[in-house]
Structures are given as structure tokens and as C-alpha cells.
A and B are shown apart, each in its own frame.
Chain A
Amino acid sequence: MGLYPLAALAFGGALLHVLNHALFKGLLFMGAGAVLHGAGTAEMEALGGLSKRMPRAAFLFVLGAAAACALPPFNGFAGEFLIYLGAFSALNGPANIVLAALLALAVLSAAGALALAVFSKAAGAVFLGEPRTQAAAGAHNCGPLMNAGMTLLAAACVVSGFAAPFLILPVSTALGAAFGLRTTLDFSGAAATPLIYLTAAFLALAAIVWVLAEKRRFFLGGRQPAAGPTWDCGYAAPSARMQYGASSFSQPLTAFFQPLLRKTLNIPVIAGYFPGKASFSSEARSVVFDHLYAPVIVRLRGLAFRFSWLQHGRLQFYILYIVAALMALLLWKL
């Protein structure tokens, strides 16, 4: 079974990713909470420019977004790297394994690029540019405790990004508990060298960033950069509403995935030389939600309600259920 180590590599990578996912996803949710707290709304189209009003949260959110896109040198990368490596190693297996690996590679890489689109949209629409509404313009910074929570998770994202080789131990312990010693050894053997190289590469990247930032300071030579308006192509009165919004940013992609998203557009008809006020709106429905989740959930709920007479709030009967279940299990095992 030459494929055993590959499966161990990919599964270990997935476990590592789960570990790291907890860190950056927690950070991103806290960031969303900070925005909701500071601006009073979490509607992306109503925000913008929060980076000026809550700079700390903006910095930490961007860091979390980069980690979520699995960008080096943050912690999202190592897990995805091992899954990719497992898929690439599987390319040298028999034909049916190659097809599975091909599918995995295509889906993973497309999902990676889509994640980049999604998180640059979220960070851009919420924190960058000019505020689109009064609520966003009047947003206030979040308190030190709120910032501290996010800072802690962000620091964990950076540290576990650089310290990926040290995370082999907990992951392989978990693998050992589930699948035995051989999987553990296969995983740590295959993952150790690449992860150590990755850490070296991350350090090189950090060093290059530092050198280039210093070099830029040298080029500036202490001169004060001039301030001006954003280039507006000669238009005299740009307004915040002319910025690319969240849905306009993702429009090319949502148009491409129209068969899956079923976006409905409400386009006003413009008639006459002096048309009155008009409004445009679009709503994306998910085919998977509407036609897979929703029907299944409805059926499940219907089924569950049929047994609702079991739940009546009388404690003695509940204890009877437990006893009956235990007795049944005991008899079954006899």
C-alpha cells in the first residue's frame, strides 16, 4: 500500500488546518463583532473607511483575512500546503487515484482564489475607501479589552504560522490516537522536512519585507510625502457612493456563478427624457440552500415534530427513557 503515507499527509494537513482555522476564524468573527459594535451595522454596503476610525481592528482583520486566504507567512498556509502536497504525491499513483488528485487540486486551487476574492472584498468594503453612510462615518473605536482579544488571536496566527513544524507533534498525536502508530510515523516523516523549509522561507520573506521597507525609507530620505485627493480621472465632484461597493466588486464572479447563485436583479425601466428617481437592487439566492438544505431541514423538522409527544417535561419519564436505553444496550451487548 504505497498510498498510505499520502492519505496520512493529507489527513494530518486537514487536522493542522482545523487547528489553525480555529485561530483565524475566531479573529475574523471578533473583527466583525468590533465593526458591528463600532458602526452599529454589519451591512457591507453601508460601511467603508473604518480603517481610519478603528485602525487597530482594521490591521488585525486584514491579518486574519490573509491567514484565511492561506497566504504565507500566516498560519492558514501550512495545513493547505500539506493537503496540496498529499494530492501532488498521489499523482504518481494508479489512474483512478490520479483523477481524484486532479479533482482535489482543481477544487482546492479555485477555492483558494475565491477565498482571496471574498476576503479582499470584505476587508476592502468594510475598512477601506471612504465611508458610504453616516453610520460608518461616525463609527467609534472599540475598547482596549475588545482589541486585546483580537490581538491575542492575531499573535497566535503569526506565531503558529512561523512555528508550523512544532505543530506536527499535537497533530501526529491525534493521528496516532485515531489510526495507530504507523499513520503517525508516516505523517511526521512526510511533513517534517517541507514544514521546516517553509519556516525558513517565511523567515526569508519577513527579512525581505524588512529590507525593502528600510530601503523605501532611505529613498524617501526624510522628505514629507505630499497629500492630495484620489485620482478621479478629471471628474470634479467624486462622492463616496461612486466607490466600488461589495456587490459590484464581486459582480463578475457572481455573474459567472449565476447557475448556482440565481441572482435576481430588479432593474428599473428608464423612460422619457427626464426620468424620475429609480432604484436598483440585486439579491443572490443560493441553489444549494434553497433546493438542498431547506427541503431536507423541512422534512427533518416534520419528522421530529411527530415524536414531540416524547418530550413532555416530566423528569421521572426522562429518567425512565435513560434506564430503558441502558437496559436495551446492555441486552444487545450480552
Chain B
Amino acid sequence: MEIIKPLIQYLAVIILSPLLLGLINRVKAKFAGRRGQPLLQLYFDLYKLSYKTPVYSRTTTWLFRAGPVIGLSAILCALAALPFAGRPGFLAFDGDFIFLIYLLGLGRFFTVLAALDTGSSFEGMGASREVQFAVFSEPAFFLALAALSKATGKLSLSGMFLALEPASWQAAAPALLLLTAALFIILLAENSRVPVDDPNTHLELTMIHEVMVLDHSGPDLAYILYGAALKLWFFGALIASAVLPRHSGSWLYDGAAFLGMMAVIAAAIGTVESVMARLRMIKVQYLLMGALVFSILALLFQTGR
């Protein structure tokens, strides 16, 4: 039984991820007084897109076709190393989070190249913004994990979250609060949510991630949408693991609490999107620098103790 638990956890992640976006949309609809789209809308979209015939621009080359495949592979591989409810994934080793961050980089690199492959000025614009914001969000992410590593004394993601206990929150509440805040800002930026990007926008000039995938269609677009849902789960799971440190020992209980926390995070994202306008594009870097400062402060608090 112990051996197949990581497998069940992994299956739960890859099956449930698209539901997060359904939850976010439902929360946003409630705020706006609408009924909203079905909770399972993304599943229907993925099914529909998978069997559509794609259209490729005559400008594109093999990179345009490889981009979605490599992007989705990178995040699927990253999820294998992600702890679930305080339990290690398949791949847990010292420094695994360095590998995870660079896997996200691999996905970004090929998404950006696929966007540039179309020769579209809009997609070039989105690609340019994507690599720009990564320059600020990646150090913030690294230092947030450094603070977590310092607080727990562990070097693997699973080790850190396993060592995190309710007592750690009592002992190092300011540092953990700051790094959770930093992780939430990074989640919003990396998953192109408000206030960094607006997933509902229809104006190419103002988009970041959505504009990079304008030309993708059919199974390629399905891969991209699914990859985005998995990436949202990835960042959400980091926050859920950080704020939910109690490990009761019961796998089912822990798992249920973890999934409940993921729903709360989805609701939080939906609430942020409903009550906030997006930032002006030139202000986004300052928001990300805020996350970087939170991470550095968390690390310094831990060092000072």
C-alpha cells in the first residue's frame, strides 16, 4: 500500500488540477452575481480541443509544435517531485527544488521560442514580458525556498514540508508568513492571474501568457491549457503545504485537509481577481520586487533568531 500511495497522489494531482480553474471561475462568477460556467468546463474544453485539427501558421517550424509538448512535460516532471500533503513525491532528493525551478525555466524557454516562431508582433511582445518578469520572480522564488530551507534545516522540498510542524509556525511565524505572502505573489505572476495579467482579457496588446499562445490550436492548445492548470496546482500546493503543517499520520485525513486547502487557495485567487484591477504593465516589476523583499526579510528573520 505504501508503495502505491505516491502513485495515487500523483494521479489525484493530474486529474484534479483543471478543477482549480473551475473553482476560481465559480468564485469570480459569484462576486459578479452571475451563475458562471460549469465547474468542469476546462475538462470539456480539453476533450474538445484534443480531437480538433490544428492550424499552423506557414511561418512556423518544428519549434512551434515542440513548445507545448516540452512545456507540459516539464511541469508533469516537476509535479513528480512535489510533496502532497506533507508526503514525498516519487522524486525527492537534496536540491530537488533547484531542479523544479529550472524545469519551469525549460517550459518558459520553449513557450517563448514557440511564440517567437510565429513572427507575430503580439506574441513577441508577450514573450518579451514573460522573460522580463521571470528575472524578478525567479530570485524571489529561490530566496523564499531558501528561507524555508533555513527554517527547517532541510535541502529537499519533501524534507522541508515534512519538517514543518505547528511548532515551526509558533517559533517562526513572521518568517513563514512573509514567505507564504511571497509565494502567493509569485503564484499570481507565474500563472498570469490578476493583478499581473488578466486571463479574461481579449486585447492582445495587454496580455502576457495568453498572447504567447494565440496561434496554438487543437491538441497543442489542450496541452498548453492543461499545463497551465498543472502549474497553478504546483504553486498552490507549495502554499498549501506551507500553511498546513499538521501531519496527523492518517494519509486519508491529511490528503483531504490538503485538498480542502487547495480549494481555499483557489477561492483566494478568485477573490483577489474579483476585488482588484490589474496593475499597469510597468508596475508589475515592483510587485515582484515586493515578493523578493518579503523573501529576503523572511531569510533574515530566520538568520537573526
Contacts and interface: CB of A to CB of B under 8 A. Distances in A.
Interface of A: 48-49, 51-52, 55, 58-59, 62, 65-66, 69-72, 77, 81, 84-85, 88-89, 91-92, 95, 98-99, 101-102, 105-106, 108-110, 112-114, 116-117, 119-121, 123-125, 128-130, 193-194, 197-198, 200-201, 204-205, 208-209, 212-213, 216, 219-221, 223-233, 238, 240, 242-244, 248-253, 256
B131 A120 contact: yes
B138 interface: yes
B94 A117 contact: no
Interface string B98-134: 1101110110110011001111111111011101101
A289 to B, nearest CB: 21
A98 B150 contact: yes
A197 B62 CA distance: 31
Contact of B56 (A99, A226, A249): A226
A72 B106 contact: yes
Contacts of A101: 146
Given A81-B99, A197-B91, A129 B53 contact: no
B175 interface: no
A124 B143 contact: no
B155 A88 contact: yes
Contacts, number: 256
Interface in B274-301: 285, 292, 296, 299
A123 B113 contact: yes
Interface secondary structure of A, over-half rule: helix
Nearest to A240: B119
A252 B56 contact: no
B249 to A, nearest CB: 27
Nearest to B153: A92
Contacts of A105: 139, 142-143, 146
Contacts of B72: 212
B34 interface: no
Contacts of B292: 106
B44 interface: no
B40 interface: no
B95 to A, nearest CB: 4
A71 B95 contact: no
B122 A233 contact: yes
B206 interface: no
B150 A92 contact: yes
Given A66-B109, A212-B72, 10 more contacts: A91-B150, A105-B146, A116-B105, A116-B112, A124-B112, A209-B73, A224-B53, A244-B116, A249-B116, A252-B132
**Chain B CB within 10 A, most for which of A48, A51, A252:** A252
B69 A89 contact: no
A251 B128 contact: yes
B55 A201 contact: no
B265 to A, nearest CB: 24
Nearest to B71: A212
Sorted nearest first, the 8 A-B pairs with minimum C-beta distance are A244-B124, A129-B119, A124-B116, A197-B93, A117-B131, A219-B219, A230-B57, A109-B142
Interface stretch (B17-25, B76-84, B163-171, B232-240): B76-84
Contacts of B129: 252
Interface secondary structure of B, over-half rule: helix
A211 B62 CA distance: 17
A216 B117 contact: no
Interface of B: 50-51, 53-63, 69-70, 72-74, 76-77, 80-81, 91, 93-96, 98-99, 101-103, 105-106, 108-109, 112-113, 116-125, 127-129, 131-132, 134-139, 141-143, 146, 149-150, 153, 155, 204, 214-215, 218-220, 222-223, 285, 292, 296, 299, 303-304
A55 B61 CA distance: 9
Nearest to A217: B219
Given A110-B135, A124-B127, A244-B125, A226 B120 contact: no
B299 A227 contact: no
B285 A230 contact: no
B146 A91 contact: yes
12 contacts: A70-B102, A85-B155, A88-B95, A88-B149, A95-B304, A102-B296, A105-B139, A116-B112, A120-B113, A197-B93, A204-B91, A208-B77
Contacts of A244: 116, 121, 123-125, 127-128
A113 B55 contact: no
Given A62-B113, A117-B134, A85 B70 contact: no
A130 to B, nearest CB: 5
Contacts of A213: 69
A293 to B, nearest CB: 24
B102 A72 contact: yes
Contacts of A209: 69-70, 73
Contacts of B95: 81, 84-85, 88, 194
A231 B215 contact: yes
A251 B215 CA distance: 24
A80 to B, nearest CB: 8
Contacts of B303: 95, 98-99
A133 B119 CA distance: 14
Contact of A216 (B123, B215, B223): B223
Contacts of A201: 77, 81, 91, 93, 96, 99
A109 B139 CA distance: 5
A155 to B, nearest CB: 18
Nearest to B300: A102
Contacts of B101: 109
**Chain B CB within 10 A, most for which of A85, A124, A125, A208:** A124
Contact of B128 (A65, A194, A225, A250): A250
A291 to B, nearest CB: 24
